[in-house]
Amino acid sequence: MVVVGCLGTDESVPDGGGPSDGGKVGCGSPAQAHVAPGGYYTSGSTVCTAAGVPHLFHGVDRPSFEFNPSGDHFSQADFLAMAAWNANVVRIALNQDFWLSTAALYDPDYQGRVDQAVAWAEAAGLDVILDLHWSDEGDLGVTTYGKAENGDDSDQQPMADENSIAFWTEVATKYEGDGRVLFEMYNEPEDIPWSVWLAGGPVKSFTAAGMQQIYDAIRGAGADNVVIAGGLHWAYDLSNVATAPIAGYNVMYATHPYDKSDNSPSTWEASFGYLATRDIAPVIATEFGDFTSSCTGDWDQQLITFADAHGMSWTAWAWYPTGSPGCDFPSLIVDWNATPTVQGAVVKTALLGYPKNPPPTVDAGAGDASDDAIDEPQNDDAGDASEDAAGE
């Protein structure tokens, strides 16, 4: 196949392989790249700064905006604590039904709260991944959330829907001037064929929107921001990307390796590592962890070691306390003071081992905002977010 990279030239690439000379394309010439202001572009398996310097994202996942329209304990101090661990990115989970004004669950203050979180994160020196985590199977009339077992609900679904396209059009329009914001198009696709994953189609009782459709909507809104596409099997499996990639530029692919038999390290290379090994596309593990009852941190260390060896980025699930030891979520912190769990200690040590972040370049613009600006969950069942921690 032929790949047009950021070098501005056609690279002849064997099917599913990297450049014909066996090397990596690298960052090439920034002048040839599409770059949202202050942001990044991709070239082969490398993410590059606007200056053409290779870059890796290392950070944490921040739940709660998916199951609570007010969020839970978001504050400037929260993001400063992440920065103190030396994270350079935070992934924030969202819900399209709280965002879209045409949805029954619409909260008029939701977009402002998300924007405040983005500003706080950037002021702390963190880039932001906005992740569409929960959706509605194409029904904006749903009035409940976090109760997936009941159906007709805003929750984790097998795939995005037509309302997700409207969501991303609005999000892209809002943040197209800020390249430090990345867009993860859908959290964890599951139980769909690759054809639907890419191009959309029937799923259960609704019509899914494919990754290509969402990508096209984002670019159609004028946004050159980096986008992220999770694979199948709760985002773990990226094995088909080499033969049927998203057509476009500035695309990363996400995997979610959790400690379970079909995610074993022996499968990592074939499932997602090959994309980096063969310089096909950048890979980021936007969730990972050990949710077995006796977690030790070994799984996290294995994944981090694999990622480092492959030049992969990662964000660890999750910066959200569920008590000690926090294995079943899994949690990185025991409390809002950022006391690490056993897995959190491994992640913190790894983060502190990377080069220090550059100083913040974006003013939060909200210095008077309350540090405990976010209320407790309003939905009786919303506090139990663990059901989607690992595609469970």
CATH of the domain at 375: 3.20.20.80
Domain for residue 379, yes or no?
Answer: yes
Residue 65: pLDDT band (50, 70, 90) is very high
| Residue 225 scores a pLDDT above 60 | yes
What is the rounded average pLDDT of the residues 233-241? 97
Which range is least confidently modeled, 28-37, 96-105, 227-236?
A: 28-37
Cα–Cα distance measured from residue 59 to residue 36, given in angstroms and rounded to the nearest whole number: 21
User: Domain span at residue 348?
Assistant: 34-388
Which range is least confidently modeled, 122-126, 319-323, 362-366?
A: 362-366
Of 205, 207, 210, the closest CA to residue 194 belongs to 210
Give the three-state DSSP class for 304.
Answer: helix
242: DSSP letter: T
Per the prediction, the chain carries an average pLDDT of 87
Q: What pLDDT is recorded for position 357?
A: 65
Residue type, 183: F
292 CB-contact burial (10 Å; exposed 0-12 / middle 13-18 / buried 19+): middle
| Residue 12 scores a pLDDT above 70 | no
Q: What pLDDT is recorded for position 299?
A: 96
| Residue 386 scores a pLDDT above 80 | no
Greater confidence (389 vs 307) lies with 307
- HSE, CB side, 13 Å, CA atoms: give it for residue 22: 0
Domain for residue 2, yes or no?
Answer: no
Cα–Cα distance measured from residue 161 to residue 142, given in angstroms and rounded to the nearest whole number: 14
Which range is least confidently modeled, 8-22, 182-196, 324-338, 361-375?
A: 8-22
Cα–Cα distance measured from residue 109 to residue 118, given in angstroms and rounded to the nearest whole number: 14
74, 319 Cβ separation under 8 angstroms: no
Residue type, 364: A
Among positive and negative, which fits the CA dihedral 260, 265, 271, 275? positive
Domain for residue 16, yes or no?
Answer: no
Phi, psi of 307 (to 5 degrees): -60, -45
What is the rounded average pLDDT of the residues 318-346? 96
Q: What pLDDT is recorded for position 384?
A: 43
- The model's pTM is 0.88
Q: And the tokens for 205?
A: 């009782």
Q: What pLDDT is recorded for position 392?
A: 40
Which range is least confidently modeled, 58-62, 231-235, 289-293, 305-309?
A: 289-293
Domain for residue 229, yes or no?
Answer: yes
Range 338-346 contact pairs with CB under 8 angstroms and sequence separation of 24 or more: 338/81, 338/82, 338/84, 338/85, 342/295, 342/296, 342/297, 343/289, 343/290, 343/295, 343/297, 343/299, 343/300, 343/316, 345/297, 346/297, 346/300, 346/301, 346/304
What is the rounded average pLDDT of the residues 181-207? 96
Of 213, 210, 188, the closest CA to residue 198 belongs to 210
Domain for residue 124, yes or no?
Answer: yes
CA 290 to chain centre: 18
Percent of the chain beyond pLDDT 90?
Answer: 78
| Residue 214 scores a pLDDT above 50 | yes
Residue 211: pLDDT band (50, 70, 90) is very high
| Residue 366 scores a pLDDT above 80 | no
Give the three-state DSSP class for 4.
Answer: strand
Pairing type for strands 181-184 and 283-285 reads unpaired
Q: And the tokens for 9?
A: 């030239």
What is the rounded average pLDDT of the residues 157-176? 98
| Residue 10 scores a pLDDT above 50 | no
Greater confidence (381 vs 206) lies with 206
Which range is least confidently modeled, 218-227, 259-268, 298-307?
A: 259-268
Domain for residue 251, yes or no?
Answer: yes
The count of structural domains within the chain is 1
Cα–Cα distance measured from residue 322 to residue 339, given in angstroms and rounded to the nearest whole number: 12
Q: Which residue has the tokens 């390796």?
A: 257
Cα–Cα distance measured from residue 236 to residue 215, given in angstroms and rounded to the nearest whole number: 20
Other C-beta atoms closer than 10 Å to the C-beta of 264 total: 12
pLDDT tens by residue, 332-345: 999 999 999 999 99
Q: What pLDDT is recorded for position 99?
A: 98
Q: Which residue has the tokens 């379970």?
A: 260
Q: And the tokens for 179?
A: 């390249």
Domain for residue 340, yes or no?
Answer: yes
Q: What pLDDT is recorded for position 15?
A: 36
315, 129 Cβ separation under 8 angstroms: yes
Q: What pLDDT is recorded for position 260?
A: 80
| Residue 381 scores a pLDDT above 70 | no
Q: What pLDDT is recorded for position 150?
A: 62
Phi, psi of 374 (to 5 degrees): -110, 135
Q: What pLDDT is recorded for position 149?
A: 62
Domain for residue 133, yes or no?
Answer: yes
3-state percent breakdown (helix, strand, coil) of the chain, nearest 5: 25, 20, 55
